[in-house]
A and B are shown apart, each in its own frame.
Chain A
Amino acid sequence: MIGIESVASYLPPGRINNLGRAEEIGSTREQVELRIGFRELAIKAPTETTLSMATEALSRALSSSEWGPSELELVVVVTQNPDRRIPHISADLHGKLGLPPRCACFDIGLGCSGYVYGLSVVSAFMAANGMSKGALVTADPYSRIVDQHDKNTSLIFGDGATATLMSSSPRFTLGSFTFGTQGAEADKLACNDGRLFMNGRAVFNFAATNVPLDIERVIAENGLTLDKIDRFIVHQGSRFIVETIADRLKVPREKMPFLAAQYGNTVSSSIPMILAETLADSDFQSAVLGGFGLGFSWASTVLQRQKVK
């Protein structure tokens, strides 16, 4: 069974101080702290690229694993902000790290639900093709498309990248997945002419309505109940949306933590960013992953820790 071996992350060192500029953007320090939740946003240096961030994340994952780059059979990158449209960035990443010729590479164009979709795609692709070692990389620097004066978006998105190593003898197995799309609402969160537009109310309504239901559905489809789940790791859209989802599910907020205050909503990297910090925490045996956003789309699954090999 294909599952997660380890997760590594890369946050660029640059930070935007949201608390310091809240009034200037038309918000307040209190709203930033208590509602939006992102005190700071990670921002890439002008010299950094989607490829350099992806490379750093995957290099970190490989350097802390027992495998070498030569063993990788698959690399999938989730992004909607590649450095160039052609070729696929996973091929550039392959070249940058000198990966073996028999390593398959392709990209997935999804936003905040992309990591959970990616886990399903990578695990299914590896299983179908008899592969034992693959990597799922997320790198989607929104600072490229966010207007830093737009109140609706400029206090939210941060830059980051992650790499998840997946293997046939994993530390965490994946349960069944659930997915959904509300395409009629897709233009409520979209990039038009190179600039991100977001209808915050539509995004909130979509997430607050659909995500709790989908989490209940994925738990039931995996033969579990809410009380059997140790941790809920959902996309860090904002503190308010994470807390609203927890409240609607009647899950204690500490079981569904908001942990992105120091770096922002990193789009498809937000869930693996938390996994990179918490997988070593042996207190949790089971976790629900819930991704949602652009599209509007959503996807959920359940992680189960395996006994030490």
Chain B
Amino acid sequence: MKVSRDDVVGVIASANVVENAAALRPSVPLVEQGVDSLGIFNILLLLDQKYGIETPDEDIGELRTIDSIVDYLNRRLA
């Protein structure tokens, strides 16, 4: 089953690091929408736990937007 934008937005909402996760623009970097580095850590941990993967530090650079996170997860889970 493919990971969707809604799946990732749902995880961001549960991380409680931004006022309204549903309003985030999917192709704009999260750090430009009020999510700081600590918030990113929490989102990545929740994603790792939800999908049973371990995202290495060196991959964080490519996880800047909701769309890039969706693509990354689908590649990892393929």
Residue numbers of A with Cβ under 8 A of B are 28, 30-31, 35-36, 199-201, 204-205, 208-209, 238, 240, 244, 247
Contact = CB atoms under 8 A, between A and B. Distances in A.
Interface stretch (B2-10, B22-30, B36-44, B66-74): B36-44
Contact of B45 (A28, A30, A200, A209): A209
Contact of A31 (B36, B45, B57, B60): B36
A208 B36 contact: no
A109 B35 CA distance: 37
20 contacts: A28-B36, A31-B36, A35-B36, A35-B38, A35-B39, A36-B38, A199-B57, A200-B37, A200-B38, A201-B41, A201-B57, A204-B38, A204-B41, A204-B42, A205-B41, A208-B45, A209-B45, A238-B38, A240-B38, A244-B42
Given A204-B41, A209-B49, A240-B38, 15 more contacts: A28-B36, A31-B38, A199-B57, A200-B37, A200-B38, A201-B57, A201-B60, A204-B42, A205-B41, A208-B42, A208-B45, A209-B45, A238-B38, A244-B42, A247-B16
A205 B44 CA distance: 9
Closest 3 CB pairs of A and B: A204-B41, A35-B38, A240-B38
Given A199-B57, A247-B16, A205 B38 contact: no
Main secondary structure of the interface of A (DSSP, over half): helix
Nearest to B40: A201
Contacts of A209: 45, 49
Contacts of A28: 36
Given A31-B36, A35-B36, A200 B16 contact: no
Interface in B45-69: 45, 49, 57, 60
A199 B49 CA distance: 19
Nearest to B57: A201
Contacts of B41: 200-201, 204-205
Nearest to A239: B38
B57 to A, nearest CB: 6
B57 A204 contact: no
A23 to B, nearest CB: 14
A231 B60 CA distance: 36
Contacts of B45: 204-205, 208-209
A28 B38 CA distance: 13
Contacts of A247: 16
A296 to B, nearest CB: 15
A240 B39 CA distance: 9
Nearest to A34: B36
Contacts of B42: 204, 208, 240, 244
Nearest to A208: B45
Contacts of A240: 38, 42
A200 B57 CA distance: 11
